[in-house]
Amino acid sequence: MPTPASGETAPHDGAQAARITDSHCHLDFPDFAGELHEVIARAGDAGVHRMVTICTRLANEPQVRAVAETHFPVFYAAGTHPMSAATEPMATADQLEALAAHPKFVGIGESGLDYHYTSESAAVQQESLRVHIEAARRTGLPLIIHARDADDDMARILTEEHRAGAYTCVMHCFSSGRALAEAALDLGFYLSMSGIAAFPRSTELREIFAAAPLDRILVETDAPYLAPPPHRGKRNEPAYTAHTAQVGAELFGLPYPEFAAATEANFDRLFRKAAEWGHTREARHA
């Protein structure tokens, strides 16, 4: 299994770079205060023409929505992060469904299970996850899943709920084990590749991605976290999606533009509302 080529990067000429989408970032976080215009411009220069910024606490939804309303390339999603599930008011499917009426609201979450730091709240996390799944069913929008150190419960709940009624889903920033990856793929879900996949020690994770169908792969940053090499240890930002996509292209043995095009098609298939919004706006300005 190849490791990331030292110092090799994807194209960074906005006129020539293949277009890709950062399917998960947090542009409302203080790390980007006062810099959003520049951050989004650098993303465009790197070929990152769309971003989905994620609200992790519903109390912050107005601020996250404002980012999407202000910046043409940005869409948004909202939910309760599992690490906040015990301290935030329990979301309702009705509440999430109402938020989804916004034209740039394109996903439910992030929700999920995190037993690494907050295992004591496992029960409330599971309750919150099931609420978010119901909202994904009702709206037809993809569920955005955070999973850490909870593979067995995650696979069980996703499978139980899918049997109760179909929904779509992306395993965001996937870094769990092979069994959870296979369970998610068997349900028709997608795996999103973050900067973790570019870390030199992530050999096993790269093998999991390389064994997955190409038509189920997305790319993301989870910015401001998890910057890929050569920016590891620094603040991450959407432009760096290109570095992770370069690693993905190497894993699948594809030229960068071909891998980028595949992830774009995957994003459009899963995040249909974002794709349709873009097509509508382009048609109006044609």
Which tens digit of pLDDT belongs to each residue from 102-124? 999 999 999 999 999 999 999 99
pLDDT of residue 3: 46
Token reading at 144: 């955005």
Distances in Å between the Cα of 221 and the Cα atoms of 54, 71, 79, 156 are: 12, 18, 18, 27
pLDDT of residue 282: 56
Rg (CA), the chain: 18
The stretches in the chain having pLDDT less than 50 are: 1-16, 286
Backbone angles phi, psi at 85, to 5 degrees: -60, -35
Token reading at 39: 């951050």
Helix axes 203-211, 241-251, angle to 10 degrees: 70
Number of Cβ atoms within 10 Å of the Cβ of 170: 28
pLDDT of residue 14: 41
pLDDT of residue 6: 33
Contact 91, 143 (CB under 8 A): no
pLDDT of residue 278: 73
Q: How many residues does the chain have?
A: 286
Longest Cα–Cα distance in the chain = 54
CA dihedral 262, 265, 270, 276 (to 10 degrees): 160
